[in-house]
Amino acid sequence: MTSIDIAKAYIKAVQSGDQAALGALISPQVIWHQPGNNQFSGTKSGIAEFGAMFGGMMAASGGTFAITAAHRYMANGDLVAIEIEFAATREGAALNQPGIDLLRIADGQIVEVWLFSSDPAQEDVFWG
């Protein structure tokens, strides 16, 4: 699979909630850079820390957090940038904005991820 194929499979797995596919695509040693200044922000090291963060985001959003669209996939060597839209709701609050997911891929797996939000302040308020 090309880097673009891996990135597309990642988005599909996130959108469908396919944990087995995500587990196969994301390296057990993944380094995940979550933006902002909220309870989920910061660098997560390894699949366990990533899983705890992602599970917390799903719990905080009542399971509504989702990548609602992926528009473009752009590769440069082992990096793939994906133009996405993401959304979530919880009582009294909504999150809906574009962003960029930047994946570093090595040996057929996602080994490092940087996320970019178009409105970090809105995201910080939403996640608390």
* Mean pLDDT in order along the chain per 10 residues (128 residues): 96 92 96 97 96 94 95 97 97 95 97 97 94
pTM reported for the whole predicted model: 0.94
pLDDT at 13: 94
Helices (runs of H) and strands (runs of E) counted in the chain = 4, 6
């797995």: which residue's tokens? Answer: 13
CATH 3.40.50.150 is the classification of domain 3-127: no
Is the CB of residue 103 less than 8 Å from the CB of residue 80?
yes
Q: Which of 67, 63, 56 is nearest to 99 (CA)?
A: 67
pLDDT score for 17:
87
